[in-house]
Structure 1
Amino acid sequence: MKTVSLSLFTPFPSITAAFTSRHGGISKAPYTDANLAFHVGDNPEDVVTNHDLLADTLAYNRHSLIHMRQIHSDRIVIVDETLNFDTPPECDALITNRIETPLMVMSADCTGILIYDPIQKAIAAVHAGRAGALNAILPKTIQKMGEAFGSLRENLHIVLGPSIGGCCYEINETIASECTSKGYGLALRREDEKVFLDVNTILLKQLKELNIENVEVIKHCTSCRCDEYFSYRADAQQTGRIAGVIILR
Protein backbone atom coordinates (compact mmCIF):
# COMPACT_ATOMS: atom_id res chain seq x y z
CA MET A 1 0.00 0.00 0.00
CA LYS A 2 1.28 3.47 -0.85
CA THR A 3 2.20 5.54 2.20
CA VAL A 4 3.61 8.98 2.98
CA SER A 5 6.86 8.92 4.95
CA LEU A 6 7.27 11.24 7.93
CA SER A 7 10.68 12.89 8.24
CA LEU A 8 10.16 14.01 11.85
CA PHE A 9 9.95 10.39 13.00
CA THR A 10 12.81 9.07 10.84
CA PRO A 11 15.49 9.31 13.58
CA PHE A 12 13.51 7.00 15.87
CA PRO A 13 13.88 3.25 15.20
CA SER A 14 11.58 2.51 18.14
CA ILE A 15 8.48 3.51 16.18
CA THR A 16 6.92 2.93 12.80
CA ALA A 17 4.58 5.64 11.52
CA ALA A 18 3.02 6.67 8.22
CA PHE A 19 -0.04 8.13 6.52
CA THR A 20 -1.69 6.25 3.70
CA SER A 21 -2.83 7.52 0.31
CA ARG A 22 -5.87 6.29 -1.60
CA HIS A 23 -3.69 3.96 -3.67
CA GLY A 24 -2.64 0.36 -3.25
CA GLY A 25 -5.86 -1.32 -2.13
CA ILE A 26 -8.66 -3.31 -3.78
CA SER A 27 -11.84 -1.30 -3.08
CA LYS A 28 -14.08 -0.44 -6.02
CA ALA A 29 -15.41 3.00 -6.95
CA PRO A 30 -16.24 5.32 -5.29
CA TYR A 31 -13.86 3.97 -2.63
CA THR A 32 -11.03 3.44 -5.10
CA ASP A 33 -8.91 1.90 -3.92
CA ALA A 34 -7.30 1.82 -0.48
CA ASN A 35 -10.27 2.66 1.73
CA LEU A 36 -9.73 1.65 5.37
CA ALA A 37 -13.12 2.59 6.87
CA PHE A 38 -15.97 0.16 7.48
CA HIS A 39 -18.69 2.78 8.01
CA VAL A 40 -18.72 4.42 4.55
CA GLY A 41 -20.60 1.75 2.58
CA ASP A 42 -17.66 -0.15 1.13
CA ASN A 43 -17.61 -3.96 0.90
CA PRO A 44 -16.39 -5.08 4.37
CA GLU A 45 -14.32 -7.91 2.90
CA ASP A 46 -12.47 -5.42 0.69
CA VAL A 47 -11.86 -3.18 3.70
CA VAL A 48 -10.38 -6.09 5.66
CA THR A 49 -8.13 -6.92 2.70
CA ASN A 50 -6.97 -3.30 2.59
CA HIS A 51 -6.15 -3.48 6.29
CA ASP A 52 -4.18 -6.66 5.70
CA LEU A 53 -2.26 -4.97 2.90
CA LEU A 54 -1.40 -2.03 5.15
CA ALA A 55 -0.38 -4.39 7.96
CA ASP A 56 1.99 -6.13 5.55
CA THR A 57 3.39 -2.76 4.40
CA LEU A 58 4.10 -1.55 7.93
CA ALA A 59 4.87 -4.99 9.43
CA TYR A 60 2.29 -5.33 12.18
CA ASN A 61 -0.41 -7.80 13.18
CA ARG A 62 -3.74 -6.48 11.89
CA HIS A 63 -5.64 -7.97 14.83
CA SER A 64 -3.62 -5.86 17.27
CA LEU A 65 -4.48 -2.60 15.48
CA ILE A 66 -6.75 -0.21 17.39
CA HIS A 67 -8.85 2.17 15.33
CA MET A 68 -11.75 4.39 16.39
CA ARG A 69 -15.42 5.05 15.83
CA GLN A 70 -14.76 8.75 15.40
CA ILE A 71 -17.50 11.14 16.53
CA HIS A 72 -15.94 14.65 16.31
CA SER A 73 -15.64 14.75 20.10
CA ASP A 74 -12.94 15.45 22.68
CA ARG A 75 -13.06 11.90 24.07
CA ILE A 76 -9.68 10.25 24.62
CA VAL A 77 -9.18 6.54 25.28
CA ILE A 78 -6.13 4.95 26.91
CA VAL A 79 -5.54 1.73 24.99
CA ASP A 80 -5.06 -1.40 27.08
CA GLU A 81 -5.22 -5.16 26.56
CA THR A 82 -9.03 -5.21 26.44
CA LEU A 83 -9.15 -3.57 23.00
CA ASN A 84 -8.46 -5.11 19.60
CA PHE A 85 -9.23 -4.61 15.92
CA ASP A 86 -12.83 -5.79 16.30
CA THR A 87 -13.63 -3.55 19.29
CA PRO A 88 -12.92 0.03 18.19
CA PRO A 89 -13.80 2.52 20.95
CA GLU A 90 -16.02 5.55 20.31
CA CYS A 91 -13.62 8.47 20.65
CA ASP A 92 -11.36 10.83 18.71
CA ALA A 93 -7.99 10.15 20.29
CA LEU A 94 -6.09 7.05 21.34
CA ILE A 95 -3.01 6.98 23.58
CA THR A 96 -0.86 4.07 24.73
CA ASN A 97 2.58 2.97 25.89
CA ARG A 98 2.02 -0.64 24.81
CA ILE A 99 4.50 -1.99 22.29
CA GLU A 100 3.35 -3.63 19.05
CA THR A 101 -0.07 -2.04 19.46
CA PRO A 102 -0.70 0.07 16.35
CA LEU A 103 -2.96 3.09 16.74
CA MET A 104 -4.93 4.37 13.74
CA VAL A 105 -6.74 7.59 12.93
CA MET A 106 -8.84 7.81 9.73
CA SER A 107 -9.72 10.89 7.74
CA ALA A 108 -11.04 12.30 4.49
CA ASP A 109 -10.35 16.05 4.93
CA CYS A 110 -10.02 16.22 8.73
CA THR A 111 -6.50 16.33 10.15
CA GLY A 112 -5.10 13.05 11.40
CA ILE A 113 -2.39 13.62 14.01
CA LEU A 114 0.34 11.27 15.23
CA ILE A 115 2.26 11.96 18.44
CA TYR A 116 5.41 10.33 19.82
CA ASP A 117 7.16 10.80 23.15
CA PRO A 118 10.65 9.28 22.74
CA ILE A 119 11.48 9.72 26.43
CA GLN A 120 8.49 8.02 28.06
CA LYS A 121 7.88 5.80 25.01
CA ALA A 122 4.25 6.75 24.50
CA ILE A 123 2.21 7.42 21.34
CA ALA A 124 -1.10 8.89 20.28
CA ALA A 125 -3.38 9.06 17.26
CA VAL A 126 -5.79 12.00 17.10
CA HIS A 127 -8.71 12.94 14.83
CA ALA A 128 -9.11 16.71 14.52
CA GLY A 129 -11.70 18.18 12.23
CA ARG A 130 -13.15 21.64 12.77
CA ALA A 131 -15.26 20.52 15.74
CA GLY A 132 -12.40 18.64 17.36
CA ALA A 133 -9.95 21.48 16.85
CA LEU A 134 -12.33 24.06 18.31
CA ASN A 135 -12.99 21.70 21.21
CA ALA A 136 -9.23 21.40 21.86
CA ILE A 137 -8.91 17.67 21.22
CA LEU A 138 -5.17 18.06 20.55
CA PRO A 139 -4.22 20.00 23.73
CA LYS A 140 -6.44 17.66 25.75
CA THR A 141 -4.67 14.61 24.31
CA ILE A 142 -1.30 16.13 25.17
CA GLN A 143 -2.51 16.78 28.70
CA LYS A 144 -3.80 13.20 28.99
CA MET A 145 -0.43 11.82 27.85
CA GLY A 146 1.19 13.79 30.65
CA GLU A 147 -1.26 12.47 33.23
CA ALA A 148 -1.13 8.85 32.05
CA PHE A 149 2.52 8.43 31.07
CA GLY A 150 4.42 11.44 32.44
CA SER A 151 4.98 12.86 28.96
CA LEU A 152 6.44 16.37 28.93
CA ARG A 153 5.28 18.74 26.20
CA GLU A 154 8.81 19.68 25.18
CA ASN A 155 9.62 16.05 24.39
CA LEU A 156 6.68 15.41 22.07
CA HIS A 157 7.10 15.00 18.32
CA ILE A 158 3.89 15.68 16.40
CA VAL A 159 2.93 15.19 12.74
CA LEU A 160 -0.20 16.68 11.16
CA GLY A 161 -1.28 14.52 8.22
CA PRO A 162 -2.85 15.39 4.86
CA SER A 163 -6.06 17.42 5.28
CA ILE A 164 -8.25 19.95 3.53
CA GLY A 165 -6.64 23.37 3.42
CA GLY A 166 -7.90 26.90 3.75
CA CYS A 167 -7.82 27.02 -0.03
CA CYS A 168 -10.83 24.69 -0.24
CA TYR A 169 -12.66 24.44 3.10
CA GLU A 170 -15.56 26.85 2.72
CA ILE A 171 -17.66 27.46 5.86
CA ASN A 172 -20.67 29.56 6.82
CA GLU A 173 -20.77 32.74 8.87
CA THR A 174 -21.99 30.95 11.99
CA ILE A 175 -18.90 28.77 12.05
CA ALA A 176 -16.72 31.77 11.21
CA SER A 177 -18.15 33.63 14.21
CA GLU A 178 -17.44 30.66 16.46
CA CYS A 179 -13.83 30.56 15.27
CA THR A 180 -13.43 34.28 15.91
CA SER A 181 -15.04 34.12 19.35
CA LYS A 182 -12.60 31.37 20.38
CA GLY A 183 -9.59 33.40 19.25
CA TYR A 184 -8.97 31.70 15.92
CA GLY A 185 -9.88 34.49 13.52
CA LEU A 186 -6.42 34.13 11.97
CA ALA A 187 -7.54 30.76 10.56
CA LEU A 188 -10.19 32.43 8.38
CA ARG A 189 -9.81 33.69 4.81
CA ARG A 190 -12.42 35.76 3.02
CA GLU A 191 -12.84 35.85 -0.74
CA ASP A 192 -15.73 37.86 -2.20
CA GLU A 193 -18.81 36.61 -0.32
CA LYS A 194 -17.16 33.36 0.78
CA VAL A 195 -15.25 32.46 3.93
CA PHE A 196 -12.72 29.65 4.22
CA LEU A 197 -11.17 27.93 7.26
CA ASP A 198 -7.73 26.42 7.71
CA VAL A 199 -8.04 23.93 10.58
CA ASN A 200 -4.29 23.39 10.76
CA THR A 201 -3.83 27.06 11.64
CA ILE A 202 -5.93 26.41 14.75
CA LEU A 203 -3.94 23.30 15.63
CA LEU A 204 -0.59 25.01 15.12
CA LYS A 205 -1.67 27.94 17.30
CA GLN A 206 -2.60 25.50 20.05
CA LEU A 207 0.80 23.81 19.79
CA LYS A 208 2.60 27.16 19.82
CA GLU A 209 0.74 28.15 22.99
CA LEU A 210 2.02 24.91 24.56
CA ASN A 211 5.58 25.74 23.42
CA ILE A 212 5.79 22.56 21.37
CA GLU A 213 8.39 22.94 18.62
CA ASN A 214 8.90 19.46 17.16
CA VAL A 215 6.10 19.61 14.60
CA GLU A 216 5.81 18.45 10.99
CA VAL A 217 2.90 19.33 8.71
CA ILE A 218 2.20 17.26 5.59
CA LYS A 219 1.16 20.16 3.39
CA HIS A 220 -1.06 18.26 1.00
CA CYS A 221 -4.63 19.55 0.64
CA THR A 222 -6.85 16.48 0.34
CA SER A 223 -9.40 18.39 -1.72
CA CYS A 224 -6.86 19.78 -4.18
CA ARG A 225 -5.17 16.37 -4.30
CA CYS A 226 -8.25 14.14 -4.37
CA ASP A 227 -6.38 12.09 -6.98
CA GLU A 228 -4.00 11.10 -4.18
CA TYR A 229 -6.22 11.20 -1.08
CA PHE A 230 -9.86 10.69 -0.18
CA SER A 231 -11.76 13.97 0.23
CA TYR A 232 -15.26 14.15 1.71
CA ARG A 233 -15.86 17.47 -0.03
CA ALA A 234 -14.17 16.92 -3.37
CA ASP A 235 -15.65 13.42 -3.71
CA ALA A 236 -19.21 14.63 -3.00
CA GLN A 237 -19.35 12.97 0.44
CA GLN A 238 -19.22 9.39 -0.82
CA THR A 239 -15.63 8.29 -0.49
CA GLY A 240 -13.16 6.24 1.52
CA ARG A 241 -10.76 7.13 4.32
CA ILE A 242 -7.00 7.37 4.48
CA ALA A 243 -5.28 6.65 7.78
CA GLY A 244 -2.41 7.59 10.00
CA VAL A 245 -0.77 4.71 11.87
CA ILE A 246 1.83 4.78 14.64
CA ILE A 247 3.38 1.76 16.39
CA LEU A 248 5.79 1.43 19.32
CA ARG A 249 8.38 -1.22 18.59
Structure 2
Amino acid sequence: MIVKFWFSPSHINIAFHAGNNTQEKILENRKNSLEMGYTLKNLAYLNQIHGSSIIRANKGGLLGDGDGILIDKKGIVGMIMVADCNPILLFNRKRQVLIMLHAGRVGIERGIVLEGLRVFKEQYQSCIENIFVYVGPSIRVCCYEVGEEVFRDESLLKGKVIKGNKIYLDLLAVLKEQFQQEGVQDKNITISPHCTCCSLEFFSYRRDKHCGRFGLFATL
Protein backbone atom coordinates (compact mmCIF):
# COMPACT_ATOMS: atom_id res chain seq x y z
CA MET A 1 0.00 0.00 0.00
CA ILE A 2 1.20 3.50 -0.81
CA VAL A 3 -0.19 6.95 -0.22
CA LYS A 4 -2.17 8.68 -2.94
CA PHE A 5 -2.40 12.45 -3.01
CA TRP A 6 -3.63 15.07 -5.40
CA PHE A 7 -4.80 18.68 -5.56
CA SER A 8 -8.20 20.03 -6.42
CA PRO A 9 -8.25 22.02 -9.67
CA SER A 10 -6.41 25.15 -8.65
CA HIS A 11 -9.24 27.60 -9.27
CA ILE A 12 -12.11 25.52 -7.91
CA ASN A 13 -13.02 26.78 -4.46
CA ILE A 14 -13.49 24.01 -1.86
CA ALA A 15 -13.90 26.17 1.28
CA PHE A 16 -17.18 27.19 2.90
CA HIS A 17 -15.52 30.10 4.72
CA ALA A 18 -13.84 31.76 1.74
CA GLY A 19 -14.78 33.07 -1.66
CA ASN A 20 -18.32 33.84 -2.76
CA ASN A 21 -19.71 30.42 -3.67
CA THR A 22 -22.86 28.90 -2.21
CA GLN A 23 -22.71 25.87 0.09
CA GLU A 24 -24.22 23.75 -2.68
CA LYS A 25 -21.50 24.84 -5.10
CA ILE A 26 -18.74 24.10 -2.58
CA LEU A 27 -20.11 20.59 -2.00
CA GLU A 28 -20.22 20.08 -5.77
CA ASN A 29 -16.62 21.30 -6.08
CA ARG A 30 -15.46 18.96 -3.32
CA LYS A 31 -17.27 16.03 -4.91
CA ASN A 32 -15.72 16.79 -8.29
CA SER A 33 -12.26 17.01 -6.68
CA LEU A 34 -12.42 13.47 -5.32
CA GLU A 35 -10.91 10.58 -7.21
CA MET A 36 -13.19 7.87 -8.56
CA GLY A 37 -14.45 5.53 -5.88
CA TYR A 38 -14.71 8.15 -3.13
CA THR A 39 -17.71 10.23 -2.06
CA LEU A 40 -18.22 13.14 0.30
CA LYS A 41 -18.90 10.59 3.07
CA ASN A 42 -15.22 9.59 2.81
CA LEU A 43 -13.96 13.17 3.07
CA ALA A 44 -12.37 14.27 6.38
CA TYR A 45 -11.63 17.96 6.91
CA LEU A 46 -11.02 20.58 9.60
CA ASN A 47 -12.01 23.96 10.85
CA GLN A 48 -8.48 25.28 10.29
CA ILE A 49 -7.32 27.72 12.97
CA HIS A 50 -3.57 28.25 12.35
CA GLY A 51 -2.62 26.14 15.36
CA SER A 52 -0.70 22.94 15.99
CA SER A 53 -3.45 20.40 16.75
CA ILE A 54 -3.50 17.16 14.76
CA ILE A 55 -6.67 15.06 14.75
CA ARG A 56 -6.96 11.38 13.85
CA ALA A 57 -9.66 10.71 11.27
CA ASN A 58 -11.76 7.65 12.06
CA LYS A 59 -14.33 8.55 9.42
CA GLY A 60 -15.24 11.30 7.02
CA GLY A 61 -16.80 14.61 8.01
CA LEU A 62 -15.74 17.66 10.00
CA LEU A 63 -13.12 16.58 12.55
CA GLY A 64 -13.16 19.79 14.60
CA ASP A 65 -10.72 22.64 15.18
CA GLY A 66 -7.18 21.85 14.07
CA ASP A 67 -4.57 22.05 11.37
CA GLY A 68 -3.47 18.47 10.93
CA ILE A 69 -5.23 15.28 9.85
CA LEU A 70 -3.84 11.86 10.69
CA ILE A 71 -4.99 8.88 8.64
CA ASP A 72 -3.94 5.31 9.44
CA LYS A 73 -6.63 3.27 7.71
CA LYS A 74 -8.04 2.94 4.22
CA GLY A 75 -11.27 4.47 3.03
CA ILE A 76 -10.74 8.00 4.34
CA VAL A 77 -9.69 10.97 2.20
CA GLY A 78 -8.18 13.92 4.06
CA MET A 79 -8.50 17.48 2.78
CA ILE A 80 -6.36 20.50 3.67
CA MET A 81 -7.43 23.93 2.34
CA VAL A 82 -4.90 26.61 1.40
CA ALA A 83 -4.40 29.91 -0.43
CA ASP A 84 -0.72 30.75 0.33
CA CYS A 85 -0.11 28.53 3.38
CA ASN A 86 1.95 25.38 2.89
CA PRO A 87 -0.04 22.18 2.32
CA ILE A 88 2.27 19.49 3.70
CA LEU A 89 2.04 15.71 3.51
CA LEU A 90 4.08 13.53 5.87
CA PHE A 91 4.04 9.79 5.12
CA ASN A 92 5.55 6.73 6.73
CA ARG A 93 5.38 3.93 4.20
CA LYS A 94 6.55 1.30 6.70
CA ARG A 95 3.86 2.14 9.27
CA GLN A 96 1.27 3.10 6.66
CA VAL A 97 0.38 6.38 8.33
CA LEU A 98 -0.01 9.81 6.76
CA ILE A 99 -0.36 13.25 8.29
CA MET A 100 -1.61 16.27 6.35
CA LEU A 101 -0.77 19.74 7.61
CA HIS A 102 -2.04 23.27 7.05
CA ALA A 103 1.21 25.13 7.72
CA GLY A 104 1.25 28.88 7.32
CA ARG A 105 3.51 31.31 9.12
CA VAL A 106 1.60 31.18 12.39
CA GLY A 107 1.19 27.41 12.31
CA ILE A 108 4.88 26.87 11.65
CA GLU A 109 5.73 29.32 14.44
CA ARG A 110 3.46 27.34 16.77
CA GLY A 111 5.14 24.06 15.85
CA ILE A 112 2.65 22.28 13.60
CA VAL A 113 5.39 20.53 11.61
CA LEU A 114 7.34 19.50 14.71
CA GLU A 115 4.10 18.21 16.23
CA GLY A 116 3.48 16.04 13.17
CA LEU A 117 6.92 14.48 13.42
CA ARG A 118 6.48 13.99 17.19
CA VAL A 119 3.21 12.12 16.63
CA PHE A 120 4.93 9.81 14.17
CA LYS A 121 7.77 9.05 16.58
CA GLU A 122 5.81 8.76 19.83
CA GLN A 123 2.51 7.26 18.73
CA TYR A 124 3.70 5.08 15.86
CA GLN A 125 7.33 4.43 16.84
CA SER A 126 8.39 5.72 13.44
CA CYS A 127 12.03 5.89 12.47
CA ILE A 128 12.69 9.33 11.05
CA GLU A 129 14.45 7.88 8.00
CA ASN A 130 11.15 6.26 6.98
CA ILE A 131 9.27 9.56 6.84
CA PHE A 132 8.70 11.19 3.47
CA VAL A 133 7.66 14.83 3.04
CA TYR A 134 5.85 16.69 0.29
CA VAL A 135 5.36 20.48 0.43
CA GLY A 136 2.83 21.79 -2.07
CA PRO A 137 2.40 25.17 -3.78
CA SER A 138 2.54 28.10 -1.35
CA ILE A 139 3.64 31.71 -1.12
CA ARG A 140 7.41 31.97 -1.54
CA VAL A 141 10.04 34.45 -0.49
CA CYS A 142 9.69 36.42 -3.74
CA CYS A 143 6.22 37.64 -2.70
CA TYR A 144 6.14 37.38 1.09
CA GLU A 145 7.07 40.85 2.35
CA VAL A 146 6.71 41.17 6.14
CA GLY A 147 7.48 43.54 9.00
CA GLU A 148 10.29 43.23 11.54
CA GLU A 149 7.77 42.23 14.22
CA VAL A 150 7.34 38.83 12.53
CA PHE A 151 10.77 37.82 13.82
CA ARG A 152 10.10 38.42 17.50
CA ASP A 153 9.82 34.66 17.67
CA GLU A 154 13.28 33.30 16.83
CA SER A 155 11.79 30.20 15.20
CA LEU A 156 11.35 32.17 11.96
CA LEU A 157 14.79 33.85 11.83
CA LYS A 158 16.15 31.30 9.36
CA GLY A 159 13.69 32.67 6.82
CA LYS A 160 14.53 36.36 7.19
CA VAL A 161 15.64 37.87 3.88
CA ILE A 162 16.49 41.55 3.43
CA LYS A 163 16.36 43.12 -0.03
CA GLY A 164 17.12 46.81 -0.05
CA ASN A 165 14.86 48.37 2.58
CA LYS A 166 12.32 45.53 2.54
CA ILE A 167 12.09 42.34 4.59
CA TYR A 168 10.81 39.05 3.21
CA LEU A 169 10.00 35.72 4.83
CA ASP A 170 11.23 32.46 3.32
CA LEU A 171 9.04 29.83 4.96
CA LEU A 172 10.68 27.08 2.93
CA ALA A 173 14.00 27.89 4.60
CA VAL A 174 12.32 27.60 8.00
CA LEU A 175 10.70 24.30 7.06
CA LYS A 176 13.96 22.87 5.74
CA GLU A 177 15.71 23.86 8.96
CA GLN A 178 13.04 22.13 11.05
CA PHE A 179 13.18 18.98 8.95
CA GLN A 180 16.99 18.95 9.14
CA GLN A 181 16.98 19.41 12.91
CA GLU A 182 14.58 16.49 13.29
CA GLY A 183 16.70 14.27 11.05
CA VAL A 184 14.50 14.06 7.96
CA GLN A 185 16.73 13.20 5.02
CA ASP A 186 16.93 15.63 2.10
CA LYS A 187 16.30 12.79 -0.35
CA ASN A 188 12.94 12.18 1.34
CA ILE A 189 11.71 15.77 0.85
CA THR A 190 9.92 16.98 -2.29
CA ILE A 191 8.90 20.63 -2.65
CA SER A 192 6.61 22.04 -5.33
CA PRO A 193 8.30 24.82 -7.34
CA HIS A 194 5.13 26.95 -7.52
CA CYS A 195 4.56 30.24 -5.71
CA THR A 196 0.82 30.73 -5.24
CA CYS A 197 1.14 34.52 -5.24
CA CYS A 198 3.18 34.66 -8.45
CA SER A 199 1.05 32.21 -10.37
CA LEU A 200 -2.48 33.16 -11.38
CA GLU A 201 -3.22 29.43 -11.52
CA PHE A 202 -3.68 29.35 -7.74
CA PHE A 203 -5.76 31.15 -5.14
CA SER A 204 -3.61 33.59 -3.16
CA TYR A 205 -4.83 35.48 -0.11
CA ARG A 206 -1.81 37.80 -0.25
CA ARG A 207 -2.58 38.70 -3.87
CA ASP A 208 -6.40 38.74 -3.91
CA LYS A 209 -7.63 38.82 -0.27
CA HIS A 210 -11.23 37.76 -0.92
CA CYS A 211 -10.45 34.51 -2.70
CA GLY A 212 -11.34 30.85 -2.46
CA ARG A 213 -9.18 27.94 -1.33
CA PHE A 214 -7.72 25.03 -3.27
CA GLY A 215 -7.02 21.76 -1.53
CA LEU A 216 -4.57 18.95 -0.92
CA PHE A 217 -6.29 15.55 -0.82
CA ALA A 218 -4.65 12.33 0.38
CA THR A 219 -5.62 8.76 1.21
CA LEU A 220 -4.03 5.38 1.88
SS in 1 for 2:79: strand
Q: Do 2:7 and 2:216's aligned partners in 1 also have CA atoms closer than 8 Å? A: yes
Partner of 2:198: 224
Q: State the 1:138 CA deviation.
A: 0.6
Deviations 1:187-237 (A, max 9, x none): 111122221101121111100111112010001000000x211000111x1
1:48-90 CA-partner distances (Å, limit 9, x unpaired): 11111111x3542221111111101011112224xx22x2311
2:6 to 11, 15, 18: 18
The Cα RMSD (Å) is: 1.5
Give the TM-score of the pair, scaled to structure 2.
0.93
1:210 alignment counterpart: 182
Secondary structure of the 1:139 match is helix
For 1:47, the equivalent position in structure 2 comes to 26
Assess if the C-alpha contact under 8 Å between 2:10 and 2:201 holds in 1.
yes
Aligned counterpart in structure 2 of residue 192 of structure 1, from 161, 164, 168? 164
In 2, Cα distance between equivalents of 1:20 and 1:162: 12
Counterpart check, 1:89 vs 2:64: yes
Q: Is the 8 A contact 1:95 1:145 kept in 2?
A: no
User: Is contact 2:85-2:103 (8 Å) kept?
Assistant: yes
Query: Is residue 2:108 matched to residue 1:133?
Result: yes
Q: Which residue of 2 aligns with 1:72?
A: 50
Q: State how far apart, in whole Å, the 1-side matches of 2:202 and 2:32 are.
A: 17
CA contact (8 A) 2:137 2:193 kept: yes
Aligned AA (2:41) = H
Q: Which string of whole-angstrom CA distances, capped at 9 and with x for unpartnered residues, describes residues 93-149 of structure 1?
A: 111211111111110000010111110100111011001111111111111122222
Deviations 1:159-207 (A, max 9, x none): 00100000001111110333xx23x423111122221101121111100
Whole-angstrom CA distance in 1 between matches of 2:36 and 2:133? 19
SS of the aligned residue for 2:65 comes to: coil
SS in 2 for 1:202: helix
Residue in 2 aligned with 1:30?
Answer: none
In structure 1, distance between residues paired with 2:63 and 2:116: 18
Q: Which runs of 4+ in 1 moved over 4 A?
A: none
Identical counterparts, % of pairs? 28
- Contact persistence 1:166–1:188 (CA under 8 A): no
1:159 and 2:134 aligned: yes
Q: Is the 8 A contact 2:14 2:81 kept in 1?
A: yes
Q: Tell me the equivalent position of 1:111.
A: 86
Q: 1:62 aligned to 2:40?
A: yes
Give the aligned residue type for 1:166: V
Conserved? CA contact 2:158–2:177, under 8 Å: no
Matched-pair contact (CA < 8 Å) for 1:21–1:228 = no
Q: Secondary structure at the match of 2:64?
A: coil
- Secondary structure in 1 aligned to 2:5? strand
Tell me if structure 2 keeps the 8 A contact 1:114–1:124: yes
* Compared CA separation, residues 173 and 193, structure 1 to 2 (3 A): same
Query: Which amino acid in structure 2 is aligned with residue 224 of structure 1?
Result: C
- The equivalent position to 1:144 in structure 2, one of 119, 127, 131, is 119
